[in-house]
Amino acid sequence: MSRSKKSRKSNENAPKLAPRTKKNERVLAGKKQVAGNKAGSRHNASMIESQANGGSAKNSDPRHGSKKPVQLNIAVQKKPENKPKGPKLTDEQKLLKLEDDPRLNDLLDMLEEGRTLNPEDQKWLNKQLTQIEALLDKLGLDDEFEQSQPTKAVSDDDLFDKFESGADLLKDFQNKD
């Protein structure tokens, strides 16, 4: 079968072209109007003249941003004056305050459990414990604490006597029921 070329002519059923219009009747679809100022509007001669005359163009400057001048040298801040402190705490109050500290209690609990503390916490804990010891020495409570603890039995005979007396007390307690 031989090939036949398509015809460029259209028949009656083909779409019709729009009728031609005259050149002066056409509406030209040129570039869209761009929003904003013209390029180089800051350097227009008219702008420069208006600034030189009254400076009213300074207020209508289309540029954005702050026009406030920036100070380049830094002022040295004054140190705040000492604030009046409240009444000083007594040594007993300081000791109670240190002993009631929840962080101190948490760290001591962690040590009793056998955990290791990080260096910052260990340093803080040592500082607090030395303060507590100093206050105890100052108040004279440290000596009483050491004296109130029972002394350790030196010999095996003393330990055995202590054990037997405890056994007798246990038997008395059981017989009371």
Render 26-55 in DSSP notation, one character per residue: SPP--PPPPPSPPTTGGG-HHHHHHHHHTS
Q: Mean pLDDT, to the nearest integer, of 4-27?
A: 80
Residue 135 lies in a domain: yes
pLDDT of residue 7: 76
DSSP state letter for 14: S
Give the tens place of pLDDT for each residue, 104-117. Answer: 999 889 888 888 88
pLDDT of residue 114: 87
Give the tens place of pLDDT for each residue, 45-103. Answer: 777 777 667 655 445 666 777 788 888 887 777 776 776 677 787 888 888 888 889 99
Question: Are the C-beta atoms of residues 98 and 138 closer than 8 Å to each other?
Answer: no
Residue 106 lies in a domain: yes
> Could you tell me the two tokens for 37?
């100022």
Question: Are the C-beta atoms of residues 136 and 91 closer than 8 Å to each other?
Answer: no
Give the tens place of pLDDT for each residue, 93-150. Answer: 888 888 889 999 998 898 888 888 899 999 999 999 999 888 888 888 765 555 555 5
pLDDT of residue 153: 44
Q: How many domains does the chain have?
A: 1
Residue 125 CA to residue 131 CA, distance in Å, equals 10
> Could you tell me the two tokens for 130?
């030395």
Q: What is the pTM of this model?
A: 0.36
Residue 129 lies in a domain: yes
Residue 98: count other Cβ atoms within 10 Å of its Cβ. Answer: 14
Residue 24 lies in a domain: no
End-to-end CA distance of the chain: 127
Domain range for 121 is 91-176
Residue 58 lies in a domain: no
Residue 97 lies in a domain: yes
Residue 34 lies in a domain: no
pLDDT of residue 152: 55
